[in-house]
Amino acid sequence: ITPKSTLPEYIRIGRLKALSDVTIPVLFPINSKNFSGITLLYSNNENKREVLNQMQYIAIDLLKQLNPDMLRLSFVDIGFDTSFPYLCALEIPQVKFIDKREDLYLEIEDLYAHARYISTKCLQFTYPDLATYNQEAQYKEAYRFLFIPEKLSGLFKESYLEKVTMLIRDGWKYGI
């Protein structure tokens, strides 16, 4: 597969075992104005490990499908144990691990500033979203993904929840 510079219509998020010997890929539309993120829930530590592995799987699938210059992946990894051991071991320049709350707040500020930059410098009321802009532009802007393995309410200060909510709701327009 040759990586490309446009966001794929769908991303594979796993496989569904249909019959004893048949598996079907599970696809999720990500290149859509209706996309505001994927929520994977867990109920215990065993399920949490499965969810964290699934996040890594999604990231690796994105890395396979997109040109590396077109992708920035950030993983919130606050705590003693690394939540993303496979990606940590790969040491990929496009993958960043955020292991301090202060760095998480800086990441949210950076994503918010990036959204404003895309809105004013790229979209300029001419393009509806970054995906459309990137299809026509000579200089393309990278897509950014933020993987958060914890509940938002316990992770962010009250003052950041509004920005995080905006990024979740409208980030698709700006490639976030």
Segment 130-175, tens digit of pLDDT: 989 998 999 999 999 998 887 766 777 777 888 888 888 888 899 9
In sign, the C-alpha dihedral spanning 81, 30, 136, 133 is: negative
DSSP state of 65: H
What are 48-87's pLDDT values in tens digits? 888 888 888 888 888 888 888 899 999 998 876 678 888 8
Residue in 38, 91, 100, 44 with CA at minimum distance from that of residue 63: 91
Instruction: Please tell me the predicted confidence (pLDDT) of residue 133.
Output: 93
pLDDT at residue 1, rounded to an integer: 46
**Contact 108/164 with Cβ under 8 angstroms?**
yes
d(CA 43, CA 45): 7
pTM of the model: 0.81
